[in-house]
Amino acid sequence: MNKNEKNSIRKYDSIAKDYDTSFDGKLTAKFKRTMLEMCSVTDGDKVLDVGCGNGSLINEISRKAEIEAYGVDISPNMIEECNQRYESIDFEISSGEKLSFKNSIFDMLTICCVLHHLNNPQKFFEETQRVLVRGGTLIVGELWLPFIIRHFTDWIISPLINAGDNKLFSHKKLKKYFVDNGFEIIEIYRKGIKQIIKGRKI
């Protein structure tokens, strides 16, 4: 386990019970509302939320149809919160870079404001490509900041706060991950600090 992962666990374990009212919880709620609007599911679909936090996004998705819902998060306390809140959803402790699921089983995968915590985002996209069915959907929500502010945050702010952040993404870089890993981009949302990309596994 690397330093960023340890810092992420420490941070999110500490705010798990009060996540909805925390700064992070309020920030990600804005992303989740838009991502939820972009989610199209039907009865019988299998959906995985990576970095599920306290389970609020996957729970809302599960209310759209009779789906099989799953969530993973690196924080044990977050997973404990999930299990207490949502008994009908399967949760487990896991990093987004190595998923325990079999090949080609999910119809949709979501990840909200988590990709910048990962040490190797490429591994996440490879794992996503592996566990999604052909034609399956990936929705990624990530914070967008202007070039200078983004680099100042990456090199100055993030190391100081030790919250497990790695590197933020330009819109060009995020789109490149989709294209380079066999996804057709089918929808893009950009407004203010929100960048959300929806892709289909080719």
CA dihedral sign of residues 20, 193, 195, 123: negative
What is residue 165's predicted lDDT score, i.e. its pLDDT?
A: 64
Give the separation between CA 69 and CA 152, rounded to whole angstroms: 37
List b or e across 28-64, with b for residues whose CB sees 16 or more CB atoms inside 10 angstroms. Answer: beebbeebbebbebeeebbbbbbbbbbbbbbbebbee
The whole-angstrom separation of Cα 125 and Cα 199 is 11
Residue 80 has pLDDT above 90, yes or no: yes
Query: Torsion angle, CA of 117/169/162/13, rounded to 10 degrees?
Result: -30
Reduced 3-state DSSP string for 54-118: CCHHHHHHHCCCCCEEEEEECCHHHHHHHHHHCCCCEEEECCCCCCCCCCCCEEEEEEECCHHHC
With a pLDDT cut of 90, the percent of the chain lying above it is 84
DSSP letter for 52, please: -
Structure tokens at 5: 């992962």
Q: Which residue type is seen at 129?
A: Q
pLDDT tens, residue by residue, 156-197? 656 656 655 678 899 999 999 999 999 999 999 999 999 999
The pLDDT value given to residue 160: 52
| Residue pLDDT, tens place only, 83-120 | 999 999 999 999 999 999 999 999 999 999 999 999 99
Domains located in the chain, CATH noted: 3-201 (3.40.50.150)
* C-beta atoms surrounding 15 within 10 Å: 19
